[in-house]
Amino acid sequence: MVLDIIRKLGTDRYSPKREDEKYGNAEGRHIDIFALDFRIGPKGRYMENFIEPFYTYPKQEGRKPVRIDVIIIYDLSKLKRVPHRYEGREDIKRDGFVFRCPDKKDALLGIIKVL
């Protein structure tokens, strides 16, 4: 079901009524997605660097690791970075993005289902 939604809309953020604290930021800026901007080359450990924090960071805070079941790959040129700060932090984060085009699926390059 969620894969069909992503194919149709270009994102898994399909419910505008859904509140999600992970999308909050200290400045209240609009952010469509949070993402890492890997530039893929012939050598690299991209998936390890992408997936590991979902396991290690929650455990460091005494929480359960986050299970990843879908990875969405976007064309970075179709996104605009939104620098922001998380609540309670002073450092500027560069992981927030908005879609440049209202048709979000135009930015979609691929979907990886993790079993």
Question: How confident is the model over 79-109, as pLDDT tens digits?
Answer: 999 999 888 888 999 999 999 999 999 999 9
Q: Are strands 79-81 and 96-99 parallel, antiparallel or unpaired?
A: antiparallel
% of the chain exceeding 90 in pLDDT: 50
Give the amino acid at 45. R
The pLDDT assigned to 16 comes to: 64
Q: pTM for the full model?
A: 0.80
Are 78 and 100 spatial neighbours (Cβ–Cβ below 8 Å)? yes
The pLDDT assigned to 74 comes to: 95
Are 102 and 80 spatial neighbours (Cβ–Cβ below 8 Å)? no
Question: How confident is the model over 52-85, as pLDDT tens digits?
Answer: 989 999 999 899 999 999 999 999 999 999 999 8
Q: Is the dihedral of CA 73, 77, 78, 79 positive or negative?
A: positive
The pLDDT assigned to 19 comes to: 65
For residue 42, give the H/E element and its range: none
